[in-house]
Structure 1
Amino acid sequence: MKRRHLLASASLALGMAFGGSAFAQGLDKVKACFVYVGPIGDGGWTYQHHEGALALQAEYGDKVEIQYQESVPEGADAERVLTQMALGGCNIIFATSFGYMDPVNAIAGKFPNVKFEHATGFKRDHANVSTYNARFYEGRAVQGTIAGMMTKSNKIGYIGSFPIPEVMNGINAYYLAAKKVNPEVELSVVWAFTWFDPAKEADSAKALIDQGVDVIAAHTDSTAPLAEAAKTNGAVIGFGQASDMTAYKPSPRVSSIIDNWAPYYVKRVGALLDGSYEQADIWAGIVDGEVEIGEITDAVPAEVKAAAEKVRDDIAAGTLHAFTGPIKKQDGSEWLADGVTAPDGDLLGMDFFVEGITAEVPK
């Protein structure tokens, strides 16, 4: 299993609010523990989760102790680490990769007094398991606007990790936004089949560049795609993924999607401290501050920056949804009628490309 799911449970779309009973008595001190799928120095996904952990400790000082284990493979190793953390006195454990879903739910049943929080998952088999996620596709709409307006070749690219709903809706949102501002744009997709492997990510970027792509977005965890873009002497631009990736400013990194987990971690541990903690299933986005758009640099023309910022602000205001019809599926079948926005259930289970994308979905 990988970090995100292949098919989302339909029940996830119905559970975006707190449920269950609050814990009546708060704790004087919380030991908060984190399980990471990659190294904290990956520059992306794990780095940003760890930044959230550090922010949590800074917020509460000596009321919170943090512990973490990095580069934990998904599967049996995760069960072992989760068990050790539960036995080691962790009051709450944040498991930050989709492939930890089954281990989390297996271990949670054995430790009912420990709270388990699973990032990007949908299973909550026990009252002490919560799930949390971010609407990354909203940020892809901002990036797609920049890509569509700045491409000179009319060829933009996307490095996919795995063909799961989170990645599929990101690719589709990126393409739809680009197509909206540039009807001539074409999208190429290369699948890296990894979350963090700088060599594979670099090869994927090279493959796109060889196809004539001059704007690259990536749904993988390292800075390798930007490093490859940097070798083109300004011919190719890209975006920071998960973290700001400021080392590549002002170009090729012209903006970024920043996963800001800190407010969620502060809120959840704070609820343990004050006794208001409840089981939850949260999917937050730009308006919540969980998905941030990093600085749009001066390498982006003023009119492009203004258009991208308007997309960001309209999404936050609720006046724009990244998936608003009319939209057809890749095979030409109807999906969303004119003016209709995609329900969360469709996005959480997305396994298709929209019309206009010629890439195939791997089986």
Structure 2
Amino acid sequence: MTTRRTLLSAGAALIALSTGLSLPAFAQEKIKVAAIYTVPVEQQWVSRIHKALDAAKARGEIDYVFSENVTNADYERVMRQYAEQGNKFIVGEAFAVEAAARKVAKDYPKTAFLLGSSGKPQAPNFAVFDNYIQEPAYLSGMIAGGMSKTNKIGLVGGYPIPEVNRLMHAFMAGAKETNPKAEFTVSFIGSWFDPPKAKEASFAMIDKGVDVLYAERFGVSDAAKERGKLAIGNVVNTQPQYPETVVASALWSMEPTINEALKAIKAGTFKEADYGVYSTMKHKGSELAPLGTFESKVPADLIAKVKAREQEIRDGKLVVVVNDKEPKSTAR
């Protein structure tokens, strides 16, 4: 297993020490921003980016337009169109279109690009970000382990890519801390947005004795609700929709990332950099959701253990290991 701590530190240093690219400054005027999403804005991951950009728009900092459900084949065309229209900041996910996105960035060196990516930044103007929320994922795993009565925990994800794998590994490590007997069933549905398929995968796990489910995808909590089981949310807090089902969630906030990028653009210092560090708890890019309706249902000693670990993370005494390898089932 490897850790991205060095990578994240390097990314932070790169941003902090950036002496600037010859991009124009936008200190007083609104910045024209465009976002390109391959899924609906309701999808967990993309909704966080959309929310952060909407907040900047509400503050009067940016003019914001976006396209959703853009196919991989059409991504480059849409990206170029936004650049040609004078948008100075383009945001999106490049995971399945890395080559095309990086090619477009090279053709528009005066435009700032910030793309979700597993790759490295690309000079002079292609910055990357990622959802490094493994810390609250570990904490939510601790809760899952402590709440499981069958010691069987299920995880349903979209695709086994680093951004998903690291969260699942952290979640399982947390569960093992509070429940050494925990066994895991892992499944990937091959889609970023297919609630019915995620629901069916969850039903299959429940039929095999799973009583707590990690809802990396939408649809998992629906299955848990129908069968009277528990779920742990991911990226967004869905407890208001599932008050008797979702115990806790690992939350992701893109505001710190977007705000840092906008600051650099305004100052004319935006350049290639890794913004992943701004998704960590230290930078308020992630957190464990409040227990809410489960405040009195989670054992007090378990809550105490979770809070102690959370403080250790915030104090830098506990570093959650980042493992990007595909997680495997351990259930017999």
What is the TM-score when the length of structure 2 is the normalising length? 0.88
Q: Is the 8 A contact 1:49 1:96 kept in 2?
A: no
Aligned-residue CA RMSD in angstroms?
2.6
1:274 aligns with 2:267: yes
1:131 aligned residue (121, 128, 131): 128
Q: Is the 8 A contact 1:101 1:118 kept in 2?
A: no
How do residues 39-78 of structure 1 correspond to structure 2 at under 5 angstroms? 39-42=40-43, 44-59=44-59, 61=60, 63-74=61-72, 76-78=73-75
Aligned mates of 1:186, 1:13 — CA distance in 2:
31
1:232 aligned residue (227, 233, 243): 227
Q: Is the 8 A contact 1:105 1:126 kept in 2?
A: no
1:100 aligned residue (97, 113, 118): 97
Deviates more, 1:256-265 or 1:15-24: 15-24
Unaligned runs of 5+ in 1: 1-7, 324-343
Structure 1 SS opposite 2:97: helix
Q: Is the 8 A contact 1:36 1:97 kept in 2?
A: no
Aligned mates of 2:128, 2:113 — CA distance in 1:
8
**Corresponding residue of 1:328:** none
Q: Is the 8 A contact 1:35 1:95 kept in 2?
A: yes
Return the structure number with greater helix share: 2
1:247 aligned residue (224, 240, 243): 240
Q: Is the 8 A contact 2:234 2:250 kept in 1?
A: yes
Q: Is the 8 A contact 2:216 2:233 kept in 1?
A: no
Cα drift, residue 242 of structure 1: 1.4
Q: Is the 8 A contact 1:226 1:248 kept in 2?
A: no
**Corresponding residue of 1:18:** 14
Cα drift, residue 265 of structure 1: 0.9
**Corresponding residue of 1:293:** 288
Amino acid at match of 2:330: T
Structure 2 SS opposite 1:152: coil
Amino acid at match of 2:46: T
Cα drift, residue 259 of structure 1: 1.4
Cα drift, residue 168 of structure 1: 2.3
Q: Is the 8 A contact 1:160 1:190 kept in 2?
A: yes
Structure 1 SS opposite 2:251: strand
Aligned mates of 1:97, 1:228 — CA distance in 2:
31
How do residues 197-346 of structure 1 correspond to structure 2 at under 5 angstroms? 197-220=194-217, 222=218, 224-233=219-228, 236-284=229-277, 285-297=280-292, 298=295, 299-323=297-321
Aligned mates of 1:202, 1:352 — CA distance in 2:
21
**Corresponding residue of 1:190:** 187
Aligned residues with identical type, % of pairs: 27
Q: Is the 8 A contact 2:239 2:246 kept in 1?
A: yes
Deviates more, 1:82-91 or 1:133-142: 133-142
Structure 1 SS opposite 2:275: strand
What is the TM-score when the length of structure 1 is the normalising length? 0.81
**For residues 272 and 101 of structure 1, do their structure 2 counterparts lie closer, same or farther at Cα, with a shift above 3 Å needed?**
same
Cα drift, residue 317 of structure 1: 1.4
Q: Is the 8 A contact 1:45 1:242 kept in 2?
A: yes
The runs of 4+ residues in structure 1 deviating greater than 6 Å are none
Aligned mates of 2:311, 2:99 — CA distance in 1:
37
1:34 aligns with 2:27: no
- Across the two proteins, how many residue pairs are aligned to each other? 320
Amino acid at match of 2:190: F
Aligned mates of 2:331, 2:115 — CA distance in 1:
31
Structure 2 SS opposite 1:56: helix
Cα drift, residue 196 of structure 1: 1.1
Aligned mates of 2:308, 2:188 — CA distance in 1:
30
